[in-house]
Structure 1
């Protein structure tokens, strides 16, 4: 079964907790704190696998969790970093955040893509030792790993996409110009999955052609079968629009041509601007007048027209040479860039509650909303740091610290950020 869309939940591993430990050795009266830091949680990594062709496996397993980092131990032993969880997907899979639609990765090459980062390990108690506080009996817990509900969409990587009504000869054309063997029959929707074929144009020259299941009017809204596969046309560098020029099924070729173009434009306006040539198939069943009329109409629209008989490969080679010529001037197959996480603002959260604990003179601040805001803060950037200070004021964190008894010079710890409190 061809499955090109799936929803899954991914959870990167939490960081390991820092350890509270003190050095114990004979004849050493006060060895001091020696708790190790926790290890990093495992990342969720997506990798393209050319042996996979569908997302069918994700229909049965929908939750993927990376392991947690190891906790720190005594003797300043740092916890081991957890192994990353590798998720293998077909080449051309786009990973999107379900809620926002934000693109997290386009897995279209052999590069590994870290989609969810594991949490940092917590600090052991030696980090909190000072000349005044020489026996810190506390450590930091590890930070949680990133968690997303994601949608996987397979968008085939093909140079040329064949579009047109059902039963116009798309599968036949792919079968005669490549080694692909799609099912061919004289009824609508014989092709129910996209079919890829490699067209060889001589030594060292070839391109990939995709047979997209037939489209009908209203396909962009979900009518018929082809609407499920319109997404596979989006990556194609150019299109070949195949029309039954003979009107053998009682339709008008010109109306067919305009209907399919309208469906492509409604689904994605960029497709209307994609380079395209037109192939008039089944010329053996058409009159010279029918071919001439359609040829004139198409060329007046600015498209190159090629009358062919795909079943016997009649006049197909000139069209293939034109395709090769056009591809040599076109940019490579499009790739989607990952979109940065949006800046989270204080007003985006209904719950602004803050938990503050005074542990041996250190004011530990915890708040779920604040952790989300901190993911978008660059603490090495002056403007970003100023924004974070405003967040602390507007979010009520500074006021909460005052109420808890925090004074000038006291140490404040917010997850993995530590600073001296100043009024």
Structure 2
């Protein structure tokens, strides 16, 4: 989402990164370019004005670090101000001392509110909670059905009474049912509208009064740009939410909403929803997001994603096999599937420091992994365990037919796999990194 902004900001900062000294003219030039980059990204004008003023004041002020050059200091200031703009630090959930904890979701139709309810349920279950969802959107029958479908998909119970009863009554009875069933985390999905209107706001007030939630989270679709900021302002006036969930952070939006809503509303972004998978949902970390925008990567999030998918003992075992050049296609398939579970490949690579800039203009197609996976799964278990069998051309042709590939594509995969094995064996013997057996550019 922040690709264009990231490129513009890094271009603006390139002129000062290596500077041993920093003149007032340089500061004016870089802050002018930062201002243009933020405005092009659809950031609220008032927010941009304050941001640029803070950067200029700090860059020309008395801030001095012996460890950093003046140019590096400017980059540090921009990074810190970006993080502050998005809330400074992560704002995590607080839980009721006497369960259940009740969280009410609010938002317009189409912003991903019902899906966010399911993602939040899955998220808190990983924290050891027992989630329970309540369908209070009596405005759209399809919303009740959607929540029930999500509940079945993630194995979380959903309390629903259709669309006839008053939503505040459904909320009250749903919370009681959760408490009686021993569930300690209740998520209330409320009704939305196409636009903010008084009827919806009055309904939210009634549901809030009946449910007495510990937290009200506003779900915002960042793809809608400044409209999302206007929606947040309207809900703040009526619903008094205490945090936000930003959806579609993996989309093509310019990023202005994510950089504006905290300053405009005074409320923190608590969660970020990226991708369509129910597991692609996490706390929002402003400092990490700032690092990603400036091409500094996000190693902590990458490590956390890996830890969720990787068994440490198994990883050590696989690492030893890799360095010995004994990795099989079976091992390779397992590792590929683990990477796919961690999220889109472009997002993962963008978290590695320095790679974000290197990958600009490079199209990373996640379907490549799917094609490789299709070829490997078309091999027999014996072939996956013993790649030498794949020297037989009839086997190659059979794998190609089974995976919808050409024999040349299968042979290319086998060749690259063998080259990787050879390279890792040489490294394992302490010979260092050999020359790559193929050209990279």
TM-score, normalising length: structure 1: 0.28
- Which protein is richer in helix relative to its size? 2
Give the structure, 1 or 2, with the largest relative contact order (CA under 8 Å, sep 6 or more): 2
TM-score, normalising length: structure 2: 0.27
